[in-house]
Amino acid sequence: MNKKHLWGILIVLAISSGVLFVDLKETPVAQLLAAAKKINLWSLIAVFGLMLLSYVFEASILAVLAHRKNEPKRSKWSFMRIPLIQALFNAITPMSTGGQPSQLAAMVQMGIEGGRATSLLLMKFIIYQIVVFLAYVVTIISGFHMVVTKFAGLAFFIAIGFLIHVSSIIFLLAILFAYNWTKKAADWLMNLLAKVINPQRVAVWRQATMVKIDTFYRESQKLKKEKTKLLLSGVFTILQLLCFYSIPYLVLVTLNVPANWASVTQMNIMIIMFMAIIPIPGASGGAEYSFQTLFATFISTNGTLVLGMFLWRFVTYFFGMILGIFGWIFKPQKIISPAND
């Protein structure tokens, strides 16, 4: 990690600490102590276990995609550390831009050639985007009315997050099913941009875009041929997201707050859409605000709300950051793949 990443960690800690300080300042200590006494210890352990299970399923996706016959077997830790490192760099970079490069670096460290590692991560990204898109669509259809009714202020930003995600999915599907048309459309857009932006800069964008389109198309064609890997990876992705999306509900269970799993999970998915458009490392500030807005619906006392926010934030962000630091430090044995792979 470099100085920029350390600054990212400091920004996340500073903003989250500031939000927590304001909440603690306005919350009587007696309320916090009363809420803490209600914590169910086994449910608290289960919350951390659910987050770990989410990382396990994500590591399993990479293990499935990377598996090849007659190739040296790699340790479970070499795959497990990849989602942990991703969690760290997602948390400390704006809009989670550091997650993909950090995964690539971790895969190269374990001995997977850079080009192949990029292909595997692209396959994983395709599957993830499709599953997330389906989750968003189902949630918008079945639960968006709750957001509009209970906190209309967030509804607009949630809709923007959904539109951004839909746009990216449409672009990916266009490459998959209309490859030539997509390249022509991208070229036309670059020609349009060249009229209002520095042509040299646009030329760099054009080359990078065309390379990404070509790479995505090649990898999507490979993925379609490996149906078993596709099916297993899809199942593991669904399980990974179910674990992650269910954490707020389990936090409420930990605090002995009655709630419905479906309602809490639907609202959590929409909050994640909102957080995706916050250009601050770890979506700091917006994450805490959105959690309070969401769970004020279920939690009546301020002490329980603040404690619940802290537990949720720690489990979903700081816990992953801590594990990610260990993942970055403890490198696995490097096993070089055969040259013909």
Write down the pLDDT at residue 259.
84
pLDDT at residue 122 is higher than 60 = yes
Paired tokens of 19: 């939000």
| Sole residue written with tokens 């994983």 | 124
Distances (CA, A) of 96 to 44, 69, 73: 27, 34, 31
Write down the pLDDT at residue 95.
59
Looking at 195-260, list the stretches that DSSP marks H as alpha helix, in order from N- to C-terminal side.
199-225, 227-245, 247-254
Q: Summarize pLDDT for 182-211 with one digit per residue, the tens.
A: 888 888 988 888 888 888 888 888 888 888
pLDDT at residue 317 is higher than 80 = yes
| CA contacts within 13 A on the Cβ side of 314 | 12
CA–CA separation, 205 and 212 (whole Å): 11
Write down the pLDDT at residue 6.
56
Q: Pick 179 or 20 by higher pLDDT.
A: 179
Question: How confident is residue 341, by pLDDT bands cut at 50, 70 and 90?
Answer: very low
- pTM summary value: 0.80
Task: Give the pLDDT mean for 233-258.
Answer: 92
Write down the pLDDT at residue 277.
52
Q: Which of 162, 116, 109 is nearest to 139 (CA)?
A: 162
Write down the pLDDT at residue 57.
97
**What radius of gyration do the chain's Cα atoms show?**
21
Beta-carbon contacts of 305 under 8 Å, excluding residues fewer than 6 positions away, are 292, 295, 296, 299
* H or E element at residue 119: helix 114-150
CB 237 within 8 A of CB 249: no
Q: Summarize pLDDT for 85-108 with one digit per residue, the tens.
A: 998 887 777 656 677 888 888 888
What is the domain partition of the chain in residue ranges? 3-329
Q: Summarize pLDDT for 104-118 with one digit per residue, the tens.
A: 888 888 888 887 888
Write down the pLDDT at residue 240.
95
